[in-house]
């Protein structure tokens, strides 16, 4: 059904840009093909002082877009400035090189109208090579393609402006979940992300990844989990930094993250329900228990050293399973361990004695392709816990999956 034409736009597209004039102009033209009437949406672009003439080009070619010119680069969180100007009931976060496919925005509106507790509708993001992109956690949105109920994101305070970039989506997602809004991924909403090389400096990205994730863990997670997750995430980022030659950036991020995280007056921890909805700790344990019973598992290999690896390690410990290795294509190396478990290449891991390989990653975009790439190389089962079933009696003790079921 076509949308009724109103004097106030139904949807506001919010974009923060820096120095990507050509790709941004193409993306703005594609938004016009989203399927909505011209009067039913608005575009608000924040230009972070691009030196390539981006702002002037937008003003000349897209005069209908609202243009906000900044005098310095304040990063992706300047979407907050666009948010303050938005009139739509729903706002859509896009990168300056991502765009929704025709029909997706209409379907997004229908999802919001069907569920009054839906706060964020996360799009399925496809990259130029056909692969998909998503957050490491199912109920964390991705900034290049997510629609929000504007009243929800405004009440949650928008993006954390002191983060600049990296992990800012986690903060807003946790705030939304803590206010009992749903953050869900939908397979019928589609965004193309061109992943254009830009002005991001790799060393700075490493530093901000470490700094912001440490800050997030120490300031937002419940007291019983804050230190555990801070150490766990930091250990993984240390290996990532080593693989990229960014050791100094890692150290700087550590120092800055601890300093920021220990500002106790800024601590606003989420409650235990929200932590479960975010981490899926109990759900992963239930699904691993179901897989262990079905396949008579005693010894397993974990596929991938993902960001939520602790949930899988914790579940294996509680179930009495032996994890003989972690197979990771990027972080394997001599004398690399996670809690005493060797991190090996796929080939090395397949040579171990085990009953099944467990995908230790709940990222919606990652699971299927990783399991499919593993399975032809080994007759032992490769198990994606997202596809494992557990009994209704078990599910009654864990309400989070029933509430946040759209991702898998």
* Alpha-carbon span 243 to 276, nearest angstrom: 31
48 and 179 co-located in one domain: yes
Last residue of a domain, one of 251, 270, 289: 270
Q: Same domain for 188 and 214?
A: no
Please tell me the pTM assigned to this model: 0.89
Nearest partner of 148 among 40, 11, 35, 39, judged by Cα: 11
Q: What is the pLDDT along the chain (408 residues), one digit of tens a residue?
A: 444 444 689 999 999 999 999 999 999 999 989 999 999 999 999 999 999 999 999 999 999 999 999 999 888 899 999 999 999 999 999 999 999 999 999 999 999 999 999 999 999 999 998 888 889 899 999 999 999 999 999 999 999 989 988 899 999 999 999 999 999 999 999 999 998 766 567 889 999 999 999 999 999 999 999 999 999 999 999 999 999 999 999 999 999 999 998 887 888 999 999 999 999 999 999 999 999 999 999 999 999 999 999 999 999 999 999 999 999 999 998 989 999 999 999 999 999 999 999 999 877 677 777 887 887 777 888 898 887 654 433 433 443 322 222 222
C-alpha distances in Å from residue 7, one per residue of 27, 52, 103: 25, 35, 22
Distance separating alpha carbons of residues 219 and 196, to the nearest angstrom: 33
Residue 353 has which token pair?
């004695």
Domain coverage including residue 301: 280-403
Q: What is the number of domains present in the chain?
A: 3
- For residue 157, what is the domain's CATH number? 3.90.550.10
Compute, in degrees rounded to 10, the torsion defined by CA atoms 321, 325, 329, 331.
110
Contact (CB, 8 A) for 36 and 92: no
Q: Are residues 27 and 159 in the same domain?
A: yes
Structure tokens belonging to residue 348: 């090395």
What CATH number is attached to the domain comprising 378? 3.40.50.720
Identify whether residues 44 and 140 lie together within a single domain.
Answer: yes
Does one domain contain both 44 and 138? Answer: yes
Same domain? For 76 and 47 the reply is yes
Residue with tokens 């080939």: 347
């Amino acid at each position: 059904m076509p949308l009724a034409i109103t004097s106030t736009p139904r949807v506001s597209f919010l974009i923060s840009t820096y120095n990507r004039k050509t790709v941004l102009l193409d993306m703005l033209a594609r938004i016009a093909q989203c399927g909505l009437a011209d009067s039913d949406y608005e575009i608000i672009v924040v230009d972070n002082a691009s030196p390539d003439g981006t702002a002037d080009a937008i003003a000349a070619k897209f005069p209908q877009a609202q243009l906000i010119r900044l005098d310095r680069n304040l990063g992706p969180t300047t979407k907050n400035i666009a948010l303050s100007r938005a009139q739509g009931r729903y706002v859509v976060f896009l990168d300056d090189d991502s765009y929704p496919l025709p029909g997706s925005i209409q379907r997004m509106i229908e999802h919001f109208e069907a569920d009054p507790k839906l706060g964020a509708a996360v799009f399925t993001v496809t990259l130029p090579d056909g692969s998909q992109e998503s957050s490491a956690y199912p109920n964390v949105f991705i900034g290049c393609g997510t629609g929000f109920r504007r009243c929800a994101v405004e009440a949650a305070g928008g993006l954390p402006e002191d983060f600049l970039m990296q992990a800012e989506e986690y903060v807003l997602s946790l705030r939304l979940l803590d206010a009992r809004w749903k953050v869900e991924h939908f397979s019928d909403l589609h965004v193309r992300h061109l992943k254009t090389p830009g002005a991001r400096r790799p060393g700075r990205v490493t530093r901000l990844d470490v700094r912001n994730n440490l800050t997030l863990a120490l300031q937002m997670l419940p007291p019983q989990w804050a230190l555990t997750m801070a150490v766990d995430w930091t250990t993984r980022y240390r290996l990532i930094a080593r693989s990229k030659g960014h050791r100094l950036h890692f150290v700087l991020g550590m120092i800055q993250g601890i300093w920021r995280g220990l500002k106790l007056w800024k601590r606003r921890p989420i409650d235990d329900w929200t932590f479960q909805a975010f981490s899926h700790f109990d759900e992963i344990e239930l699904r691993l228990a179901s897989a262990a019973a079905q396949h008579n598992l005693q010894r397993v290999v974990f596929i991938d050293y993902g960001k939520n690896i602790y949930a899988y390690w914790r579940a294996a410990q509680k179930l009495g399973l032996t994890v003989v290795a972690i197979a990771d294509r990027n972080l394997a190396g001599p004398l690399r361990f996670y809690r005493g478990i060797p991190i090996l290449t796929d080939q090395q891991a397949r040579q171990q004695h085990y009953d099944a390989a467990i995908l230790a990653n709940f990222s919606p975009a990652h699971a299927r392709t990783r399991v499919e790439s593993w399975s032809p190389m080994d007759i032992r089962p490769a198990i994606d816990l997202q596809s494992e079933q557990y009994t209704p009696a078990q599910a009654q003790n864990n309400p989070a999956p029933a509430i946040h079921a759209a991702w898998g």
